[in-house]
Amino acid sequence: MSPSFSVRPTASVWSRSGLIAHVDLRSHENNLAHRTREIDRERLIVRRGQPFAITLQCSDSLTPNHHLEVVLRLGRRDELVITVQEQREARDKWWFDQQRAQDEIVLTLHSPPDAVVGHYRLAVVAKSPVGHVVDKADKMGFHLLFNPWCKGGPCELSQRCDGGDAGGSWPDREKRVFVGRRKTCGQGVSECNQTTQTRGWSLHSSPGGQRERERHTGRPCVPDKGTDGWQFEDYVMDVCFDVLDNSKDALKNPKADTENRSDPVYVSRMITAMVNSNGDQGVLTGRWEEPYSGGVAPYRWTGSVPILQQWSRDGAKAVKYGQCWVFAGVACTVLRCLGIPTRTITNFSSAHDVDGNLSIDILLNDKLETVGKKDSSWNFHVWVESWMRRDDLPKGNDGWQVLDPTPQELSEGEFCCGPCPVAAIKEGDLAMKYDAPFVFAEVNADIIYWMVGPDGQRKKINVDQSGVGKSISTKSVNGDFRQDVTLHYKYPEGSTKEREVYEKAGRPVADSTDGNAEPGQLQLSIRHAKAVFGTDFDVIVEVPGKAVVQEMATAHISFANPLPVPLRGGVFTVEGSGLLSATEVHVKGDIAPGQKVSVMLSFSPRRVGITVILTASFFSTVGGHVYQQREKERHLAGKTVLLNFSAVIGQMLEMLERREESSTAIGRRKLESGLNTFILMLFVISQDGRAV
């Protein structure tokens, strides 16, 4: 990885020559106004399209004939240099105004809504009436991010947004990613509004609450694990920009890449390509089957920050291993960090159309064995949506855009997908950039079964028009539950409009008889193996007494083995913002059926309002069953089965910075999620242990 190109920006700069004696970047008030205060209170971080003020303290009053000039530089080699004039020339230009009062000058800088995002170096130049440089204050810098609140800006999160956890205000520290199999209430009966399981995913990790936006320290990589917890989660915002800096486009043509970073379409596409490591210096290597030697199994990850930190620490070397929800979680973190509203999306029964014919073709021989595997259908697949305006497309394609960082198919020579307008998918407008046919097939392909004769000729024997794209889900912004967005992607399944859109998309469909079988041909009943899930079980977390900032506290975690077989190799993994780095607590010995196991965790909270993710993993040998461990079902006869559950201790509470809160301690909730469950509970840290 290339070294960081800037020194640590400071809130104040003293001039050597003396005319401009001191410059105050006013980071505290600017960051508050720009909704970046929880990223950092020392460093200036602002959003484009919104003014910010700096103060110049002069050793002597500047005469009216003297004038000021602001120079901005962007890029490792000054690929972009902007001279900011005092008067406003156009809406798409930087400009500033000033207010003078004796020896103090307040400069208010205005960035255009489509300014390039990145780290700017700032210099203020004082010039004489004839244009000579009288004084110069530099060694200053700030970060400029996309702005979801900028009226008329490309990423403005408008009222047309349906809600969902888009991250426009980044209200959550954790994310729910829906995985597993879609549940139904019996055969042929209406669907239950639930999915098999959810995964807790930590998107942010800063002590201030926005964990993917961190204090810049000027060093090129993350610290070792032995450093203090407050510093351990530093650098992540810089790592997000480093991800862009290591893209093929940035390395090939830095100047063009820098200029293109004004466009969220370009930036999001680069991030999508860089989250996976196929063909570039990307963040994650994918692997969909054991063994996971030399890396971390995908189901072990609980958040984006450790992945990004490891990638940075290892010099842009890909982290092992990821699967779709891991790729999507990291992409969501990076895009939100840069200021683009983003949310994760889960598509159950997700198609992977290799040849682009908008169907999943299942080929069977005369023994009903599949042959010539090519297309496939996954139990679930996870991608992200980002909200942006599409100036490169016809009207009607603004809003949510599909971005899929999981490496599946090449898109213009890169393993990336999107951004693709959700509106275009629903209407079957597959000429819209990018990768609309592939995304359309993921949610709306027909599954066609073919009989392949000895001569290689195919004969269609069954068509399933409604088996793909079920219960498309995201986390609701109003709570920790699933929001269904299926109707954003397609019209009601089986409706006339849905079939019209499918035909418009490029594949004519002939009328079929009841059951979709063609007259005179064999009607097949395809039997899918069912995932085996255990009985419901409770996980209990207790914190005796009160949890107080900077004082040791203890948590007891317990549950009973719900399976009829022993569990072994138990590991509890705990991590949390301002609490501790990822900590593993191992369970010794086997756990018999029905036996209760309990572990103790000691911790010292560093801030008020902590949120923690708890993950536990156990293993057991189960013969002849099918367990949905990853995105695809696997027959695991005689192999290990992962028992995984997650718990979130704590809720993001809107509280004053110094408000005293008590530990309201523990509740529990049992969810019918088989071998996987989540516990939501309130766990609030106080400054001195006093109750409110």
Residues annotated within the binding site are 444, 446, 493, 498
For this structure, is 161 an active site residue? no
Q: How far apart are the first and last CA of the chain?
A: 49
Neighbours of 266 (CB within 10 A): 17
Residue of 282, 304, 17 whose CA lies nearest to 133: 17
What does the radius of gyration of the chain's CA atoms come to, in whole angstroms? 28
- For residue 366, the 8-state DSSP code is T
d(CA 119, CA 141): 7
Binding-site residues for Ca(2+): 444, 446, 493, 498
Q: Which of 324, 332, 337, 416 is catalytic?
A: 324
d(CA 46, CA 53): 11
Alpha-helical (H) ranges within 166-205 are: none
The secondary structure of 496-521 as a DSSP string is HHHHHHHHHHT-------GGGPPTTS
d(CA 117, CA 46): 10
311 and 183 Cβ atoms separated by less than 8 Å: no
d(CA 154, CA 491): 27
646 and 613 Cβ atoms separated by less than 8 Å: yes
For this structure, is 404 an active site residue? yes
Q: Which residues contact 369 (CB under 8 A, 6 or more apart)?
A: none
The secondary structure of 198-220 as a DSSP string is EEEEE----TTS-TTS----S-S
Residue of 433, 383, 387, 430 whose CA lies nearest to 272: 383
d(CA 421, CA 436): 8
The tokens for 358 are 């908008």
d(CA 381, CA 472): 10
d(CA 648, CA 638): 32
118 and 74 Cβ atoms separated by less than 8 Å: yes
CA 673 to mean position of chain CA atoms? 24
Q: Which of 110, 143, 204, 381 is catalytic?
A: 381
Q: Within 13 Å of residue 124, how many CA atoms lie on the same side as its CB?
A: 32
d(CA 340, CA 668): 35
d(CA 131, CA 532): 79
Angle between helices 436-444 and 496-505 (to 10 degrees): 150
Q: Which of 242, 249, 404, 464 is catalytic?
A: 404
- Paired with 603 in beta bridges are 553
Looking at the annotation, which residues are catalytic? 324, 381, 404
